[in-house]
Structures are given as structure tokens and as C-alpha cells.
Amino acid sequence: MRQVVLDTETTGLNAADHRIIEVGCIELVERRYSERKLHHYINPERQIEAGAEAVHGIRNADLADKPKFADIADELRAFISGAELIIHNAPFDVGFLDKEYRRLDPAHGSIGEWAHICDSLVMARKRYPGQANSLDALCKRLGVDNRGRELHGALLDARLLADVWLALTGGQVALGLETATSVRDLSGMKDLRAYAGQLPDVEISETEREAHRERLATIRELAGFCVWDTIGTNSSA
């Protein structure tokens, strides 16, 4: 399973009038960080609104010598094509990206035709209804360190969103077993049972058992996969 976590920064909020000035992508393969990423600052060929500059701190002077979107369009399309594209508040970024590609050639169509788009904001609102679900709020709630985020930045925000996404969908990022190269690569997990004799017996209540069952059900629903189901546990969960 290949996923790409994507974020953009723009000259303003309206895709009809504004342009992308930064794009950042982080690749996940089988829920692990690969070494691949894509990051570009982009000359928008127009002025950045003061309100937008206050959010991301990028000035027009910073972009004067940067490539135009046309110069990075093919590289970006190749990077995201065929992946599950994870975006926080996807309609915003997708709207800007679609506008940029249509400006180059209407035949480009929509990025939704090249990649499966998953909106992490929609998922967060389902998980935490009635609560703040901004990236900062989710970082705080899920224990993701965002202390370096004084301003928005596409690559930084993509990395934070990737951490949030992995936690939001069950936290099964790595198992701490050197023999397992990914969550779905279960070779070597047969040895996990060997640790059972070293663990203390703990009495738990039926309420705790039910909470455990509900947690596993949530992982299965959101991630489509649960490590617990693979290790031969005798739990009734």
C-alpha cells in the first residue's frame, strides 16, 4: 500500500484567483516512512495576500527565482499518481491543484483521477465530533510533537499530518520487532508468543474488555487491518 501525504501553501484562499506557492509530499509504504519526498517552492506569478503571508511567512521576494508550476507539474503528477493521497481539508488543496493543472491544459482532468483522495479532516470529525480538528489540535490530542510549527509550511505540515494520520488510524506504525519490515510483513511475528510467559497475569474487568473490543473494532474500520488479529491470541475480542 502506497500513500502520499500532501500539503500546499498558497497566495490566498480562493483557488479561482490565487496560486500555489509551495507543495510538500511525504511517501508512506505499508504504513512506514519511505525515503522519498517531494518539495518545491513555486513562483506564483502574482502577489501574495498579506493574510496568507502572515500564515506561512513566505514573501514574493522569496519566490522570485523559484520554478513556476508548469516546471514541476510533471514531477508532481508522477509522484502522486496511483497512491492514496492523504490531505487535511482535501477540497482546499485539490481545488488549487486542479486549477493549476487545468490552467496548463484542460485535458489534465482532476488529480482525483490519478490518485485516491482521503480527507483526514473528514475522518477526524467522525472520530472527534464537536471538537477542534485542526492539524495543531490533532497533534496535541494524539501526542504528535509540533513545537517547531510557528508558521505553516507544506513539507513540515505534510510530515506532521503523516504522524497524525498513522496515530489516527490505529498507531500501528512499527512493531518494535527488527524481523518485521512493515506492519503487513508478519515474518518473524511467530516469535511474539515467546514473550507471553514473561508477562504478568493481570485481572481486567468486563468494562475494560469491552473497551478493548471497541478499540480493535475502530482500528479494523479505519485502517482495514489489525495486528492483534494475526498473532493467534485467544482473546474473545
pLDDT in tens, 57-97: 999 999 999 999 999 999 999 999 999 999 999 999 999 99
pTM over 0.85: no
Whether residue 205 has pLDDT greater than 80: no
Domains, the chain, with CATH or none: 2-168 (3.30.420.10), 175-237 (no CATH)
CA–CA distances in Å: residue 95 to residues 19, 55, 171, 205: 11, 19, 30, 49
Specify the pLDDT at position 112.
95
- 221-233 tens-digit pLDDT: 655 666 666 655 4
Specify the pLDDT at position 215.
72
Measured distance CA(1)–CA(74) in Å, rounded: 22
86 strand-pairing partners:
5, 118
Whether 152 is catalytic: yes
Specify the pLDDT at position 171.
52
Query: Which is the catalytic residue, given 40, 88, 152, 212?
Result: 152
- 1-12 tens-digit pLDDT: 899 999 999 999
Specify the pLDDT at position 151.
67
Whether residue 187 has pLDDT greater than 70: no
Specify the pLDDT at position 90.
97
C-alpha cell at 69: 508550476
Specify the pLDDT at position 70.
97
CA–CA distances in Å: residue 54 to residues 10, 29, 84, 109: 12, 34, 31, 32
Whether residue 169 has pLDDT greater than 80: yes
Whether residue 212 has pLDDT greater than 80: no
Exposed, middle or buried: residue 6 (CB in 10 Å: 0-12, 13-18, 19+)?
A: buried
Measured distance CA(58)–CA(154) in Å, rounded: 11
Percent share of the chain, pLDDT over 90 = 63
